[in-house]
Structure 1
Amino acid sequence: MTLLRVDASIQGPRSASSELADLVLAEFTATRPDEPVLTRHLGEDPVPADVWARAIAGAFTPEADRTPGQTDALGVAASIAGELRAADAAVLAFPLYNFGVSQHVKAWMDVAIAGAEPGARLLEGTPVVLVTTRGGSYGPGTPREGWDHSTDYLRRILADVWGAELTVIEREFTLVGINPALDEFTELAAQMRKDAEETAAEAGRSLATR
């Protein structure tokens, strides 16, 4: 069983999403220590921004007429799509940035789609744990209700387009303790963190029993 882990945070060791993904992996590897884990960190090693355009152009160009850049881009796209196809399970840690999907995640998804045949179900039947974190609160009745343009998009791609068996772990108010304007939510944020950590641990145990 090969598990694919993909992170997208730009926060390094301070990343709340990576912290939750670590908990998922810890529970998984505690039960299945010998299983290979393939990692890709889009925040530290992003897919180059021009790969998607070159791969698309290359796909519509006869092989003999492709530029070296187009050939290279198609190779990158095929490799990323292949990682998804080959995964028996996946853990994806994708925080909300500027009310949407990070540019790193969007580029990775676009390139994966370019590297597969049209309509390919790259994660068909694959158990996938999506960890997503938000600095504030975006739930019903909050000032930011409706401003999260990331989570639903990720569900559409991962589950509806790629066919994943998706579990979503969400944690809000990660900026509490960092942004003084949110100090009044300290207790609520602590409970949200605890709940997310428990859910992450359970998701890791569940993956290990697949």
Structure 2
Amino acid sequence: MATLLHIDSSVFPGEASSSRSVADAFRKAWEEQHPEGTVIYRDIAASPVPHITADAHTAWFASPSERTPEQSAAFAARVKLIEELEKADAVLIGAPMYNYSIPSTLKAWLDNVILPGRTAGETPSAQGTPVTVVASRGGSYAPGTPREGYEFVQNYLEAVLKGSLGLDLDFIVPELTMAPRNPAMSELVPLYEASRRRAFEDAARKAKELAERLAV
């Protein structure tokens, strides 16, 4: 049966997080299609993966017999994350926008799984694997909006997930999530509600379509 790798990175728990809530809807729809499937789940906000160290980086360029104990341990931690990505039939990532970019914990996960000559390069080991990113944000950074030029989540993840890892990338974008909390954005609440409703609909639909596609 199919395996879904699910990564959450929001610092907010449960329904307080738009990215978690929408990703959870995607996952539930996925599990309905794959009741006997496997979900590999990592909450990297609650349990962060190690940031890349010199030992983790240089171990790749040394033969196993020449690695120091520190290099071997650091590289083994990277390999575990890489193997989770490689065995996945699909990937789901919750990526809220913090200060115009992704959470540092998600950047750390990406730094671990991007390995030239294995997951990145001419023949990436997870090439073609579908990845759905729930890219929530407090405002709107859509084309034509005043802050369009500050959108560094989708642009960055497209370069990394699609350009480096060769994944088949798709986005779900719940926006204006701060509108219900920020009085200055109160007039935008209807737009927020429409965006949220559309995000949940997209999550259920895309999960079902992806499950059906992989079943063929």
Find the counterpart in structure 2 of residue 173 from structure 1. 176
Describe the SS at the equivalent of 2:107: helix
Q: Deviations over 1:36-61 (max 9, x none)?
A: 11111111111122x44321122344
Structure 2 unmatched runs, 5+: none
- Measured after TM superposition, the shift of residue 66 of structure 1 is 3.2
In the alignment, structure 1 residue 188 sits paired with structure 2 residue 208: no
Q: What letter corresponds to residue 107 of structure 1 in structure 2?
A: A
- Measured after TM superposition, the shift of residue 108 of structure 1 is 0.8
In 1, Cα distance between the equivalents of 2:21 and 2:183?
22
In 1, Cα distance between the equivalents of 2:126 and 2:63?
29
Q: 1:92 to 1:34 in 2, by over 3 A?
A: same
Q: What letter corresponds to residue 143 of structure 1 in structure 2?
A: P
Residues 77, 115 of structure 1: 8 Å contact kept:
no
In the alignment, structure 1 residue 108 sits paired with structure 2 residue 109: yes
Residues 114, 165 of structure 2: 8 Å contact kept:
no
Residues 52, 107 of structure 1: 8 Å contact kept:
no
Find the counterpart in structure 2 of residue 43 from structure 1. 45
In 1, Cα distance between the equivalents of 2:180 and 2:66?
56
In 2, Cα distance between the equivalents of 1:98 and 1:25?
27
In 2, Cα distance between the equivalents of 1:9 and 1:52?
23
Q: What letter corresponds to residue 19 of structure 1 in structure 2?
A: S
Residues 117, 124 of structure 2: 8 Å contact kept:
no
How many corresponding residue pairs? 209
In 1, Cα distance between the equivalents of 2:64 and 2:127?
29
Structure 1 unmatched runs, 5+: none
Find the counterpart in structure 1 of residue 32 from structure 2. 30
Find the counterpart in structure 1 of residue 167 from structure 2. 164
Q: What letter corresponds to residue 159 of structure 1 in structure 2?
A: K
In 2, Cα distance between the equivalents of 1:73 and 1:161?
22
Give the superposed CA RMSD.
1.7
- Measured after TM superposition, the shift of residue 19 of structure 1 is 0.5
Describe the SS at the equivalent of 1:172: coil
Q: What letter corresponds to residue 188 of structure 1 in structure 2?
A: L
Q: 1:41 to 1:116 in 2, by over 3 A?
A: farther
Q: What letter corresponds to residue 112 of structure 1 in structure 2?
A: V
Residues 78, 116 of structure 1: 8 Å contact kept:
no
Residues 138, 178 of structure 2: 8 Å contact kept:
yes
TM-score (ref. length: structure 2): 0.90
TM-score (ref. length: structure 1): 0.92
Residues 22, 199 of structure 2: 8 Å contact kept:
yes
1:201 to 192, 199, 204: 204
In the alignment, structure 1 residue 139 sits paired with structure 2 residue 153: no
Identity of aligned residues (%): 35
In 2, Cα distance between the equivalents of 1:2 and 1:40?
14
In 2, Cα distance between the equivalents of 1:115 and 1:74?
14
